Chains A and B, each alone.
Chain A
Amino acid sequence: MNNKLFVRKLFYIGAIAVLLLPLYLLGQPSVKQNGQLAGGGELAEMRSRYRIGQADLGQIDPASESMRLATLGMRGIASAWLWQKAEYYKEEKYFDRFSATLNQIALLQPHFIKVWESQAHNLSYNVSHEFDDYRQRYAWVKKGIDYLIRGTKYNEREPILQWHLGWYTNHKLGRSDEKAQFRELYRNDTEFHNSLISEGLSNLRSEAMGADRKPDNWLTGRLWYLKAYDLVNAGALIKKNEVHFYAEAPWSQMYYSEAIQEEGILDDRSRFAWSRANESWREFGNREILTSWGDRVQLRALDRLNKELKDKITKFDELIKPIVPEVLKAARESMNDDGKFLIDTPENQLSLEQLQAKKELLAATLSNRFEVIRYLPATQRSEAITLASAIRVAEDEVMHTAQYRDMCNYNYWDLRSRAEQSPVTLAARRQIYEADQFIASADLLAATKRYEKAWLNWNAVFRRYPDMMKETVAEEVLKAINRYLSATDQEIRKDFVLYDFMRYRSIYDGNKADYDNAQYFNQLMYEADRWESAMDQPALLENDHVPLPVDWTEADMERTSVKFLPPKPASKAAEESAPSGETPNQPLSTSNKEPNPPEAPQVNESTKPATDAGAATQGAPDSTPADDVSDVGGRPPALQPPEE
């Protein structure tokens, strides 16, 4: 009996030993050799290989570890229960308990990134907006930021948390309805600045100082983004679309520049801010971005890529030129009668529509380059295949680059950051700002004068940078025009200097395809460079204390020597030239209502300016649509002749 028992015990011990062996092989901890962890079981090796050991992930917190141990393997249940509790506290507005519960959740799930992301969002966005007092709201936004900062300690290789920190600091403080108050509170929150410095933003007081030499939220957010980029440079993974990930830092600089302009800082400081914004945007454009197709693109390289593609296509077309008739002949066999007719008929016997159809047919026939190559002599095929392959790659590159540029509106921001540096834009903005101040102090006369100066400058800006008419800047101008109109109790007349802009914008906002409108825009684009010289004469436009009425006099023009032609007062001739039912003084809605149809271009010598106008138009291209469009209602048909 005893023997049996003994054997059984031996068996148990043996079984335990056998079971321990795989455990040992799997779980043996690694040992430190020369300061580095090495060896160990399979699990230890995997931890080391994928860098998911506690020490690799981030700070080890005894409170967190002991809490997780204390749940005795029921961490999941405990977390689920705490999440439910937190939700209940939030619904019932027990916000102090909510905040305390979030701390407990964080201790239980310190490496679960979604905890930090969603609960910080809860604090900064969902809870903060429950408070009526903006100072309390600000305090809760900070709580969310503090929560994220804690998350970064536990997860040192997760750039997304730093990225969110940038986002919260920027967008919650700088984009909310109470942004003016939030930004002001942040600027003066020395205690918070100190805590941010101790939490890793050591360069806060050197690189995030705003125009008033206090830390600015947009520039602070930018520092967080840069920290996230540093982590990526050190090997961390980006779990986000790379365009949006990398665009935020330069955008921070842009938004900062916008913000200080809104706050009335309209001098060299804002110009400098925009120049830095443009610089960082160009850096962003040079960065290699991973696309969802798996290749990498540089957003700034689009022009180069387009040119390279064009060169390659030209080269390929040259190569296949001798065999095109043969290709078409072969293709003709499989075409229907219409197609055969288009191929067979000489171009001078085709109508416009037929010509267009033929063009498309030929393009489609020749578009399959690899098919076309089959008709080439064998000696040329190798070169053609290489060329066709290169074209295909180049087309992909162009398409990917263009799509990724669209994602971040690259073109607009590039343009905007250049345009805002211009003294004319600055002057235009300052004049609107001052006009608004005058309205606030009920000095309507001074406000009107400022506005009217601003319209001239905005006109120059839109002509130099027509793309600006499509974006938020234009919306701001439209709002300002509305303020101007209600202050002066006027309606828009056709001789208003920004009439064309308003008409363009009105159709654009109506989201309608309008041929004339598109033509107008194209014409502005065509003319844009010619306005460069006018943009270089800031000092003259800056002459704040000289009233510059909408209808400039000759003396005004001489004094400023700026060759913007003034909008003319409605003349009888213009009235006559207007289509029936529309008078020159017909009001134009500033809303998105259906706009007045653009008029057919009318050139009327009698409506041209009497003085410098003739000289000004001399250098303009003959009969360009610009002349036509600008002549409507007497807006400037031309400007200073371009230096040719």
Chain B
Amino acid sequence: MRLETEQFWTFYEWFITNNGLLNGFLLALVLIALGFVLSYLVAMLRYGPGEGFYVISKNIRDLFVRDLPNTSMRRTYAIGKLAFKEAIRRKVLAVVGIFIVGLMFAGWYLDPSSDVPVRLYISFVLTTTNYLVLLLGLYLATFSLPTDIKNKTIYTITTKPVRATEIVLGRILGFGMIGTVILTVLGLLSFVFVWRGLRHSHELERAPTVAEEGLTTEDLRHTHSLRDGATRTFESKGHYHPIIATEENGEIKYEIGPPRWPAKVPVYGSLRFTDRDGQLSEGLNVGYISEYQKYIAGATLMSASWTFDGVTPDKFGDSLRLEMTLSAFRTVKGDIVTPVKGTLIFRRPEIEGDTVIAESERISFEVKEFAVDEYEIPRKLNGFKNNEAAEIDLYEDLAPNGQLEVIVRCEDTGQYLGMAQADLLLRADDRPFSYNFFKGYVSIWLQMMIIVSFGVMFSTFLSGPVAIVATMATLMLGFFSGAIELYFEKPEFSGGGPIEASIRMVTQKGAMHDLDLGNNALEKAIQNIDMVIMHSVRLLTGAVPNFNTLGTSDFVAYGVDLFDGLLLRHIVISFGYFIMAFTVGYFFLKTREIAA
């Protein structure tokens, strides 16, 4: 599973250290200033400069003095309830039917015998749910208000003592509620679908002994091995099975339970590399397009070292579970049968002068690519204290302050080991799969609420079809902001801006070919106009939520417990966008004559 650096940040690191709060504040300021200027310009055209300023000021004052303080939750709830009922009347529950039909046929396309079927299944249900729910929110939120205004049914509300804040808030709340109900149903259906699709059972084929691991029978094209005395099998295809061993007449009988997909709670460390001289560096690129992993050369001083915090016995127990997903790169095939070898060293991060205070002896390992390589490191290790050979204690000698450094080196000359920060982790504990699954759905819920808020906001001043296009544009910008960045980062690969791209499509010229219109001035003009358009779009993308970063389906699919800090961050971001949409929606509704 890929994790980017910012995903590792705790909530505090994001909010304070990495300026999450400041950036949000600045964005709000810019939007407020922009909103004020635009509103004033519109008001000035309608009422003149003096009167216009007065109208704007009055609206702002109304928000803070009258409408916000006097907003009634009871009335808001009533409007929300109406929105809920309206949504039901508009047969939105049909979405559930569509989803069920989708699930019925999904089995045709999902192969339970693939490498890690749970990833396919979960990716499918989460992605489908995500898209369905976002489209639902889009449809509900954008058409409701304009239809009411068009049919003049809005007057039945505005003639009552209802404030604009309550109308906007009520709509968001009501559509949020129906979305939540549908999302819950879809979530439950998905859970059942995944469970039914992947359930299977194994029998014991070979009982474990002290000398040899046991083996289960094959089902869904996989087996599990198990250790003598273990309470669960080893993981295979992303899951394990609990084992219940009972003794009958002196004979041990093993019962293998249903599959369990763990949501592991990883502890990640910060990663740094050293170069061939042992100096700090950034690792090597061995020529892959992807730069996610960096490589270290074998039989040199190059190393990758992770520094972990909070390595304490109460968190990890008497042994440390370490997982690696390193990759190997060979410059020579060499010995084909033997995998590339590496070395693990556990070290106390603090150094006295040039002397390492304590470190373990070198633990050799053979790389296992594209699979989780699990190690259980005992508390007592052979190693060195102040350069003297000694038995060392993992916690007392190596991590007395809870800080532990894990160093990886490549042993083989001419071969390389590749790694990213998330490729070596300490596994503290497992949480239930269902809990992680729930958190994945919370992420979807947050995205839905953002779309509902934006939809309601646009519907306060645009007609239904235009509002849906505007919200859709927000959604697209949120999903494809990466493509816009590509234009600026690698212009030679992007195929140009919208005008150039259209010409290329018509003339069937790939991105790597010159545009070659036979007129340099015309080409330059097109590229300049494109540049202006793309800069404008880029500015806009800064104001819309990035739905890619809000998506967390990989965590659930890969069985990694969604970090609480990350989820909290997403909640705060979503709340920020909600506030923004609510405020903008309020002002626009106030300026319309229907509003009270």
- Residues of A participating in the B interface, judged by any CB pair closer than 8 Å: 62-63, 66-67, 91-93, 95-97, 99-100, 103-104, 107, 130-134, 136, 177-178, 181
Contacts and interface: CB of A to CB of B under 8 A. Distances in A.
27 contacts: A62-B108, A63-B108, A66-B105, A66-B108, A91-B288, A92-B292, A93-B327, A95-B370, A96-B114, A96-B115, A96-B116, A96-B120, A97-B120, A99-B114, A99-B115, A107-B109, A131-B369, A131-B370, A132-B330, A132-B339, A132-B340, A133-B369, A134-B337, A136-B369, A177-B333, A178-B336, A181-B337
A91 B339 contact: no
Majority-rule SS of B interface residues: loop
B320 interface: no
Given A91-B289, A132-B339, A103 B369 contact: no
Contact of A100 (B2, B111, B289, B327): B111
B119 interface: yes
Interface string B349-374: 00000000000000000011110000
Contact of B290 (A91, A97, A103): A91
Contacts of A97: 119-120, 123
Nearest to B329: A132
A97 to B, nearest CB: 8
B328 interface: yes
Interface residues of B, number: 28
5 interchain residue pairs of minimum CB distance: A63-B108, A132-B328, A96-B115, A91-B289, A178-B336
Contacts of B339: 132-133
Contacts of A134: 336-337
Contacts of B119: 96-97
A156 B562 CA distance: 47
A401 B115 CA distance: 50
A45 B265 CA distance: 63
A517 B111 CA distance: 63
Contacts of A130: 369
Contacts of B330: 132
A67 B114 contact: no
Interface string B147-191: 000000000000000000000000000000000000000000000
A177 B114 CA distance: 27
Contacts of A132: 327-328, 330, 339-340, 367, 369
B346 to A, nearest CB: 24
Q: Indicate the member of B105, B111, B115, B116 with the most A CB atoms within 10 Å.
A: B115
Nearest to B1: A94
Contacts, number: 59
B120 A181 contact: no
Interface in B283-332: 288-290, 292, 327-328, 330
Contacts of A66: 105, 108
Given A63-B109, A95-B115, 4 more contacts: A63-B108, A92-B290, A96-B114, A133-B369
Given A63-B109, A136-B370, A100 B114 contact: yes
B109 A103 contact: yes
Contacts of B337: 134, 181
Interface string B542-574: 000000000000000000000000000000000
A181 B337 CA distance: 8
B336 A177 contact: yes
Contacts of B292: 92
A96 B115 CA distance: 6
B366 to A, nearest CB: 9
Contacts of B336: 134, 177-178, 181
Contacts of A96: 114-116, 119-120
A108 to B, nearest CB: 11
B329 to A, nearest CB: 8
B402 to A, nearest CB: 33
B370 A100 contact: no
A100 B120 contact: yes
B290 A93 contact: yes
A177 B337 CA distance: 11
Interface string B265-293: 00000000000000000000000111010
A52 B333 CA distance: 47
Nearest to A99: B114
B541 to A, nearest CB: 20
A307 to B, nearest CB: 50
A103 B417 CA distance: 31
